[in-house]
Amino acid sequence: MELSVNLTNSFQGIAVSPGIGIGRVMKLAGPGNVAPERLSIGDSGIEAELERLRCAITATADQLLSLQNELRRKLNNLDADIFEAHLMLVRDRTFVGEIEKRIKEEKCNAEYALYEALEHFQKVFATIRDEYLRERSLDLRDVGARLMENLTDVRDVMKGLDDSRVIVAASLTPSETARLDTSRVLGFVLETGSVTSHTAILARSLNLPAVVGVPGISLANLTGADKLIIDGFSGRVIVNPDSRTEEAYRLKARAADEFQARMKADNALPPETVDGFTVPLALNLDSACCDFSQLKGAGISGIGLVRTEFMFLNPHHHPTEEEQFEIYKKLLIDAGDLSVVIRTMDIGGDKVAAGITTLNEENPFLGLRGIRLALRERKDLFKAQLRALLRAGVYGNLHIMLPMVSSVTELWETREIIDELCCELQEQGLEHVRELPLGAMIETPGAALIAGELSRICDFFSIGTNDLVQYTRAIDRGNEHVSYLYHPAHPSVLQLIKKTVEGAKEGGIPVAVCGQMAADPALAVLLVGLGVNELSMVESAVPLVRRAIRSVSMYETVQAAEAALKCARAADVEEIVAGLLKTRFPEVAEL
Amino acid sequence: MDSVGNVISTRVRVLTREGLHGRPASQIATMLSKRDATLTLVKTDDTQARADCSSVLDMLILAAGFDTELQIFAEGPDARVALDEVKDFFNNKFGEKES
pLDDT digits (tens, 9 = 90+) for A62-97: 888 877 776 666 555 545 566 778 888 999 999 999
> Cβ contacts of residue A300 below 8 Å, gap of 6+?
A281, A282, A283, A338, A542
Nearest to A136 among B22, B54, B55 (CB): B22
CA B25 – CA A257 distance, rounded (Å): 52
- Amino acid found at B74: A
Q: Partners of A303 in the beta sheet?
A: A283, A340
Asked whether A461 and A508 are in contact (CB, 8 A), the reply is no
Which of the residue ranges A71-80, A175-184, B87-96 would you say has the lowest mean pLDDT?
A: A71-80
Percent of chain A scoring above 70 in pLDDT: 85
Q: In chain A, which residues fall in CATH 3.50.30.10? A: 7-249
- Tens of pLDDT, residue by residue over A551-567, are 899 999 999 999 999 99
CA A574 – CA A229 distance, rounded (Å): 28
CA B23 – CA B56 distance, rounded (Å): 9
- Ramachandran sector of residue A227 (left: φ over 0; alpha: ψ -120 to 50; beta: rest): beta
End-to-end CA distance of chain B, in Å?
A: 32
CA B54 – CA B49 distance, rounded (Å): 16
Residues of B numbered 11-40 whose beta carbons fall under 8 angstroms of chain A's beta carbons: which are they?
Answer: 17-23, 25-27, 29-30
**How does residue A416 score in pLDDT terms, banded at 50, 70 and 90?**
very high
Kindly list the distances between the CA atom of residue A104 and the CA atoms of A49, A60, A97, B55, in Å, as whole numbers in the listed order.
Answer: 9, 22, 10, 21
User: Is B36 among the domain residues?
Assistant: yes
Rounded average pLDDT over A257-267:
77
Asked whether A85 and A139 are in contact (CB, 8 A), the reply is yes
CA A62 – CA A159 distance, rounded (Å): 20
Q: What pLDDT score does A151 carry?
A: 82
Domain extent for B51 = 2-94
CA B9 – CA B37 distance, rounded (Å): 12
Q: In chain A, which residues fall in CATH 3.20.20.60? A: 275-305+437-591
Rounded average pLDDT over A519-524:
89
User: In terms of CATH, what superfamily is A275-305+437-591?
Assistant: Phosphoenolpyruvate-binding domains (3.20.20.60)
Q: What pLDDT score does A137 carry?
A: 81
Rounded average pLDDT over B54-63:
92
Q: What pLDDT score does A221 carry?
A: 76
Q: What pLDDT score does A587 carry?
A: 64
User: Is B19 among the domain residues?
Assistant: yes
SS3 A568: coil
More confident residue, A337 or A218: A337
User: Is B34 among the domain residues?
Assistant: yes
Q: What pLDDT score does A319 carry?
A: 85
Find which of A86-100, A272-286, A327-341, A434-448 is predicted with most confidence, using mean pLDDT: A434-448
User: In terms of CATH, what superfamily is A7-249?
Assistant: Phosphohistidine domain (3.50.30.10)
- A160, pLDDT greater than 80: no
Which of the residue ranges A55-64, A117-126, A345-354, A370-379 would you say has the lowest mean pLDDT?
A: A345-354
Structural domain total, chain B: 1
- Tens of pLDDT, residue by residue over A32-72, are 445 677 788 888 889 988 998 998 999 888 888 877 776 66
Asked whether B38 and B74 are in contact (CB, 8 A), the reply is yes
What H or E segment, with its residue span, contains residue A444?
none
Which of the residue ranges A5-9, A329-333, A459-463, A500-504 would you say has the lowest mean pLDDT?
A: A5-9
CA A407 – CA A414 distance, rounded (Å): 12
CB contact under 8 A, A92 and B52: no
**How does residue A311 score in pLDDT terms, banded at 50, 70 and 90?**
confident
- A510, pLDDT greater than 80: yes
Q: What pLDDT score does A534 carry?
A: 96
Task: Tell me how many degrees the CA angle A132-A170-A346 measures, rounded to the nearest 5.
Answer: 40
Strand intervals (E) in A262-404 = 281-285, 302-306, 339-343, 397-402
CB contact under 8 A, A318 and B58: no
Kindly list the distances between the CA atom of residue B27 and the CA atoms of A88, B54, B78, B85, B86, in Å, as whole numbers in the listed order.
Answer: 9, 10, 17, 11, 9
Nearest to A88 among B56, B63, B64 (CB): B56
What H or E segment, with its residue span, contains residue A202?
helix A198-206
Dihedral of the alpha carbons of A142, A148, A154, A156, in degrees to the nearest 10? 120
- A424, pLDDT greater than 50: yes
CB contact under 8 A, B57 and A140: yes
Which is nearest to A548 in space by CA: A575, A574, A576, A523? A523
Q: What pLDDT score does A77 carry?
A: 52
Q: From chain A, pick out residues whose CB is under 8 angstroms from the CB of B18.
A: 132, 315-316, 354-355
CATH of the domain at B17: 3.30.1340.10
Which is nearest to A144 in space by CA: A110, A169, A177? A110
- A236, pLDDT greater than 70: yes
- A262, pLDDT greater than 70: yes
| Test the B interface: residue of A65, A82, A94 with most B CBs within 10 Å | A94
SS3 A340: strand
Asked whether A401 and A514 are in contact (CB, 8 A), the reply is no
Task: Tell me how many degrees the CA angle A85-A90-A94 measures, rounded to the nearest 5.
Answer: 100
- A3, pLDDT greater than 60: no
- A568, pLDDT greater than 90: yes
**Does the interface predicted TM-score (ipTM) exceed 0.85?**
no
Q: What are phi and psi of A195, to 5 degrees?
A: -55, -30
| Test the A interface: residue of B32, B54, B56 with most A CBs within 10 Å | B56
Q: What pLDDT score does B3 carry?
A: 55
DSSP state of A275: T
- Does B70 contact A at CB distance below 8 Å? no
CB contact under 8 A, B22 and A121: no
SS3 A88: helix
CB contact under 8 A, B21 and A133: yes
Q: From chain A, pick out residues whose CB is under 8 angstroms from the CB of B93.
A: none
Q: Given the residues A198, A317, A487, A567, select the one marked as catalytic.
A: A198
> Cβ contacts of residue A364 below 8 Å, gap of 6+?
A348, A349, A350, A352
- A135, pLDDT greater than 90: no
CB contact under 8 A, A128 and B61: yes
Asked whether A308 and A319 are in contact (CB, 8 A), the reply is no
Kindly list the distances between the CA atom of residue B4 and the CA atoms of A55, A409, B8, B38, B75, in Å, as whole numbers in the listed order.
Answer: 42, 61, 6, 15, 10
- A6, pLDDT greater than 50: no
Which is nearest to A456 in space by CA: A517, A396, A415? A415
User: Is B99 among the domain residues?
Assistant: no
- Amino acid found at A314: N
Q: Partners of B13 in the beta sheet?
A: B69
